[in-house]
Amino acid sequence: MAIPAPILAIAVAALLSGGGKKSSSGTSISGSPTWPLRNNASRNIPSPSPQYLGRGFGAGRPYSNMHQCDRVHGGVDLSAVKGDICVAMEDGIIVATQGWDGDNAKAILLETANNVLLYGAVAPNSWKEFNVGIGSKVKRGQRIARIGTYSGGSQMLHFELYKKGTKKNAVWCKGKPKPSNMIDPTSYLKKAAGSDALS
């Protein structure tokens, strides 16, 4: 079916503006997100220079004993080191914290006007340093946690994006459909980073 030009033009304009219109699927990338990481205090410079570490959304991950399946990477890994500061990408409310990987890697979940953002792997209780916790309302750019360490020793921001209402990460098993509440965060991160910072 042909789409009348005026309607198409409006649709494209809405897409380009990112003007807060929510699609029926709830997966719109709206708002004006800021980059989720700030370097640690000793460097104290914003870090708008994201890197993938070779692992983007949908990459293969090893077998999980806990979940009894080969997994699919449900997030994007961003270059970071232990102690780096995570900030709220948009105004929102902290809706959950959860275990992530080992004793030094937890996750914190922030619900914004349109989505839920999961920050892993952050240091346990690092949010307390910034006086935030479950139920805290936070502003765009506000500090919410510090990067921790995976049980294997690696450090990064593993970032996931979900539909509103999510309180816990979903696991995506290879060969299964993507969990219905999980959203590819690549476009959202690109929007935060600027037009060409991710490639």
Residues contributing to the site for Zn ion (CB under 5 A):
77, 158
Stretch (H or E) spanning 158:
strand 156-163
Q: Which two tokens stand for residue 73?
A: 């990477």
Quote the least distance from Cβ 23 to Zn ion, whole Å.
26
DSSP H or E stretch at residue 163:
strand 156-163
Distance in Å, CB of 164 to Zn ion, minimum: 22
Considering beta carbons, is residue 35 or 57 the nearer one to Zn ion?
57
Q: Which residue has the tokens 């232990």?
A: 82
Nearer to Zn ion, 60 or 133 (CB): 60
3-state secondary structure of 146: strand
- What does DSSP assign to residue 114? S
Nearer residue to Zn ion within complex by CB, 33 or 185: 185
Closest approach, Cβ 41 to Zn ion, in A, equals: 25
Least gap, CB of 156 to Zn ion (angstroms): 7
| Dist. CA 52–CA 78, nearest whole Å | 5
Nearer to Zn ion, 30 or 147 (CB): 147
**Beta carbon nearer to Zn ion, 30 or 84:** 84
Minimal distance, residue 22 CB to Zn ion, in Å: 27
CB of 37 to Zn ion, least distance (A): 14
The one-letter amino acid code at 84 reads D
Helices (H), the chain: 5-17, 126-129, 186-193
Rg (alpha carbons) of the chain, rounded to whole number: 17
What residue number has its CB nearest to Zn ion? 158
Query: Which tokens go with 117?
Result: 């953002």
When the beta carbons of 30 and 115 are compared against Zn ion, the nearer one is 115
Nearest alpha-carbon partner for 57 in 169, 175, 182: 182
Q: Of 164, 165, 147, 146, give the one whose Cα is nearest residue 156.
A: 147
